[in-house]
C-alpha cells in the first residue's frame, strides 16, 4: 500500500497490516484553537491576577470576572515526566490595567534547564524575557513569528493590540512552572503604554 501524505481520504483497507490511528488533537491554524477530548482549559481573570500588574488600584477598579487570558493545553504524558512534550495555545484579550497591557502571569520553568518555543498566530504583542540576573528584553510577536525561550529565562506575553493575541507553545513535560519567584520579585521591567506606544520600562 502506498501512502500519499496529501491523501485526506486515506482509509484502512483489508490488506493493511499496520494499525492506523487518527490524531487526538486538531489545531486550527487561523486561530490557534485546539480541539479534542484531551484538551485542558484554564481561564485567568482580573481577580486571579493580584500582584501581577503594577497598578493594583487600577486592577481593583476593573470587573473581577473580566477574562484576561485563556490557556488550552494538550498533555500527552503526565506533568513532570521526563522525555515528553506538551502543546499549548494562549489567548490574551485586548485590555489594560492602568497603563500596563493585559499579559500572562509569567514564570520561570521550575526545572530551569528547560527551554520552550512560542509562535504567534493572531494579533500582536510582545514576549518579555528575563534571565536569572534579571536582564530583561522583549521580542515583538505577530502572526508567524517564532520565538525561542532559552533555559533559565522567565517569560511573559503582553497583548499590545486591540484584538486577541493568540500564540502556540511547545515545552518539555518536566519543565514545570515556578510562579512563586515572579510573585516574590516580579520582572525587572514592565511593558507600558508610553506616549501611545508600547515601551519596556524598568522597575524603579
Instruction: Give contact residues for ligand S6P (rule: CB under 6 A).
Output: 71, 88, 90, 104-107, 116, 155, 169, 171, 175, 177
Please list the residues that pair with 202 across neighbouring strands: 189
Backbone CA torsion sign across 118, 42, 189, 155: negative
Shortest Å distance, C-beta 54 to ligand S6P: 17
- Select the binding partner of residue 32 from ligand S6P, Zn ion, none (C-beta < 5 to 8 A, by kind): none
Residue number with the smallest Cβ distance to Zn ion? 116
* Distances in whole angstroms, Cα of residue 149 to Cα of each of 8, 11, 35: 34, 40, 26
Question: CA-CA distance, 84 to 112, in Å (whole number)?
Answer: 16
Question: CA-CA distance, 11 to 50, in Å (whole number)?
Answer: 52
Question: CA-CA distance, 21 to 109, in Å (whole number)?
Answer: 33
> In terms of CB distance, is 98 or 186 closer to Zn ion?
186
Classified as helix, coil or strand, 177 is: coil
Shortest Å distance, C-beta 198 to ligand S6P: 18
> In terms of CB distance, is 19 or 152 closer to ligand S6P?
152
Shortest Å distance, C-beta 85 to Zn ion: 12
Counting residues that bind Zn ion (by CB under 5 A) gives 1
Q: Are 157 and 141 in contact, with CB atoms under 8 Å apart?
A: yes
Question: CA-CA distance, 36 to 111, in Å (whole number)?
Answer: 29
- Select the binding partner of residue 104 from ligand S6P, Zn ion, none (C-beta < 5 to 8 A, by kind): ligand S6P
Classified as helix, coil or strand, 149 is: strand
- Select the binding partner of residue 106 from Zn ion, ligand S6P, none (C-beta < 5 to 8 A, by kind): ligand S6P
Of 108, 90, 107, 72, the closest CA to residue 159 belongs to: 90
The interface mask with Zn ion, positions 94-133, x = CB under 5 A, is ----------------------x-----------------
- Select the binding partner of residue 72 from ligand S6P, Zn ion, none (C-beta < 5 to 8 A, by kind): none
Shortest Å distance, C-beta 8 to ligand S6P: 29
Shortest Å distance, C-beta 77 to Zn ion: 16
> In terms of CB distance, is 99 or 181 closer to Zn ion?
181
First to last CA, the chain: 66
Chain residues binding Zn ion by CB under 5 A are: 116
Amino acid at each position: 500500500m502506498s501512502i500519499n501524505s496529501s491523501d485526506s481520504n486515506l482509509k484502512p483497507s483489508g490488506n493493511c497490516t499496520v494499525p492506523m490511528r487518527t490524531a487526538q488533537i486538531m489545531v486550527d491554524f487561523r486561530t490557534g484553537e485546539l480541539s479534542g477530548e484531551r484538551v485542558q482549559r484554564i481561564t485567568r481573570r482580573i481577580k486571579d491576577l493580584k500582584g501581577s500588574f503594577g497598578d493594583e488600584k487600577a486592577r481593583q477598579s476593573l470587573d473581577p470576572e473580566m477574562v484576561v487570558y485563556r490557556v488550552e493545553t494538550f498533555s500527552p504524558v503526565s506533568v513532570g515526566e521526563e522525555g515528553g512534550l506538551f502543546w499549548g495555545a494562549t489567548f490574551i484579550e485586548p485590555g489594560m490595567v492602568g497603563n500596563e497591557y493585559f499579559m500572562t502571569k509569567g514564570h520561570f520553568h521550575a526545572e530551569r534547564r528547560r527551554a520552550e518555543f512560542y509562535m504567534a498566530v493572531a494579533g500582536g504583542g510582545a514576549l518579555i524575557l528575563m534571565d536569572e540576573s534579571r536582564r530583561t528584553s522583549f521580542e515583538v510577536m505577530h502572526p508567524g513569528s517564532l520565538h525561542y525561550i532559552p533555559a533559565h529565562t522567565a517569560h511573559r506575553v503582553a497583548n499590545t493590540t486591540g484584538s486577541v493575541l493568540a500564540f502556540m507553545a511547545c515545552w518539555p513535560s518536566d519543565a514545570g512552572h515556578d510562579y512563586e519567584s515572579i510573585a516574590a520579585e516580579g520582572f525587572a521591567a514592565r511593558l507600558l503604554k508610553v506616549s501611545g506606544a508600547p515601551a519596556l520600562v524598568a522597575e524603579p
